[in-house]
Amino acid sequence: MVYLLAMLAGAAGAVIGWLIGGSIAVVVAGQFGLSDFEGARGYFAYLFVGPIVGVVGLVAGIWLVLRYRGGFTGFSAVAGRGLLVIAAIGAIVAAGIWYRLATLDHFRELPPTAEFEIRLPAGKPSPDRLAVKIELHTDKNTNDALLYDEWLRVDAGRPVLRGLVPLYFRTAQRILVLKLAGEPDRLFTLKLAASPRYSDDYGAWQKLDFVAAANEQPQRPGAGEDFELRLRVPDPNVPYVQPK
């Protein structure tokens, strides 16, 4: 219990010390003529002086609890236990920062890119490139996909469209929409985690999920809608090479 109290006292001391130190530094800096242009005085007070006083408050709060609540009087006894308390506080803060970064909507590093292939039904003629538009719809945004220079290939007589789309937001609600001029939209629900795993290999082909005609609710695909999709998400930190 004493260690928990020491952690709380240390955290409170750090916050109080930062506030007091920053507030006093603002006043003193003004007396010495430090300009407040674009917040320079506040930056100096709360980003330089405040943290220093905050560390003093952290140590003081821990020492007071260990000394007067824990009954530790020797320097080595207080110092050793104090370091353990500081390490515990640091671990909690680091875990909190990690969790916050992991749950941000945006990726904090380079956003991943999903490379896709869409296989059209057998017997369907290859579309003109200008007649093809592919979009990614999420609960956060909508953005266009890009087709490769070598955007079309043939697989056992079936045209295959090839391209990529950036995944700007961390969300599991992603739908890839294939728009062919004069035809209803084809919707594929992407089977990707919010933070997808990287892979150099395409996954298995997945069937079309929905068909949406203009001004109508999406419907399950009927006969002849043998469209298929497969994906891969390469590591964005590896130099990109457009597939042949």
pLDDT tens digits, one per residue of 43-60: 778 888 888 888 998 999
194, two tokens: 């919010």
Low-confidence residues of the chain, pLDDT below 70? 37-38, 100-109, 240-244
pLDDT reported for residue 145: 96
**24 contacts 2 by C-beta, under 8 angstroms:** no
Calpha distance 154→101 (Å, rounded): 42
pLDDT tens digits, one per residue of 90-112: 888 888 777 765 665 666 667 89
Calpha distance 8→85 (Å, rounded): 10
Taking the whole predicted model, whether its pTM rises above 0.75 is answered as no
pLDDT tens digits, one per residue of 172-188: 899 999 999 999 999 99
CA distances to 64, 72, 142, 158, 193 from 61, rounded to whole Å, are 5, 14, 50, 72, 43
pLDDT reported for residue 226: 94
Q: Which residue segments constitute the domains of the chain, with CATH numbers given?
A: 2-102 (no CATH), 113-232 (2.60.40)
pLDDT reported for residue 4: 86
The partner residues of 143 in beta bridges, in order of sequence, read 136
Residues in CB range of 156: below 8 A, 6 or more apart = 122
Calpha distance 3→8 (Å, rounded): 9
Residues 99, 100, 105, CA angle at the centre, nearest 5°? 120
pLDDT reported for residue 73: 79
Q: Coil, helix or strand for 29?
A: helix
Calpha distance 184→6 (Å, rounded): 65
Length of the chain: 244
pLDDT reported for residue 3: 79
